[in-house]
Amino acid sequence: MSIAPAPLKLEIILGSVREGRIGPVVSNWYAGQARLHGGFDVDVIDLMDFAIPNDFSSHPDTTEFSRRIEAADAIVVVTPEYNHMPPGYLKTVIDASPKSAWSGTPVALVSYGGMSGGLRAIEPLRVVFPEIGAMSIRETVSFHGVRDQFTADGEPVDPDGVNAAVVIQLNTLEWWGLALRDARALRPYGQKVIA
Ligand SMILES: Cc1cc2nc3c(=O)[nH]c(=O)nc-3n(C[C@H](O)[C@H](O)[C@H](O)COP(=O)(O)O)c2cc1C
């Protein structure tokens, strides 16, 4: 009989911080789906709660954000698309935290926007994450025309397809999360293995 592993510590990063944003609708819905999945102990990092300045070096919010990332076994980034890119502040907080906080951790990407569903915001992040040792998984979830995609209760207007896509994404994230948690426990990330 195999023993079920402890749930993975999942941090969902909400990447939009502007007044009137729709981001919390998307991240709250995603957090609910992740709790239903059962493989994760779910928390949300709302970047609105972190006032990391352009000179981010020694700011206390940098320390706290980095601590949360360091403790995570898996990360989901929920990002809008602004001018074909993710928001600048999202990049700033990634830059502010040390690579070591992210190294050996899987990252899943969720996007939303206008016509393109925020897909153009996802691709630049795929360039960033390997640079800090994070593993961005293939499966994405996206919403085009996002303001028409949720009811007043914060549920998707058309839940079948998108909820199924989330399960597929979370299954892959869980797979990588378990594999990399074991790997990190076995040896420090990037350490020489064979003498
Ligand atoms: C400055 C700005 C630039 C935007 N650029 C794009 C874009 O390039 N492509 C797109 O599909 N939507 C674009 N949008 C639409 C946003 O994706 C949409 O407003 C979304 O609600 C933004 O997320 P938020 O409300 O959580 O901030 C842009 C919105 C803003 C405010």
Indicate the average pLDDT of the chain.
Answer: 96
Sheet containing 74-80: which strands, arranged edge to edge? 40-46, 8-14, 74-80, 106-112, 135-143
Cα–Cα distances in angstroms (integers) from residue 137 to residues 115, 141, 148, 180, 185, in the given order: 23, 11, 27, 13, 21
Q: Which residue did the predictor score with more confidence, 32 or 193?
A: 32
155 CA distance to ligand 1 centroid (A)? 20
Residue 113 Cα, ligand 1 centroid: separation in angstroms? 5
Q: Whose CA is nearest to atom 6 of ligand 1?
A: 82
Q: Looking at ligand 1, which atom is closest to the CA of residue 17?
A: 27
- 59-116 pLDDT, tens digit per residue, is 999 999 999 999 999 999 999 999 999 999 999 999 999 999 999 999 999 999 999 9
Residues 6+ apart with CB under 8 A from 115: 144, 145
With the most atoms of ligand 1 within 8 angstroms of its CB, the residue from 13, 28, 77, 81 to mutate is 81
Q: What residues pair up with 44 in beta bridges, in sequence order?
A: 12
Place of tokens 């070591």: 100
Residues with CB under 6 A from ligand 1: 16, 18, 21-23, 80-84, 113-116, 146
- pLDDT the model gives residue 2: 77
Q: How far is CA 128 from CA 8, 31, 104, 107, 135, in A?
A: 23, 24, 14, 11, 10
Which ligand 1 atom sits closest to the C-alpha of 146?
21
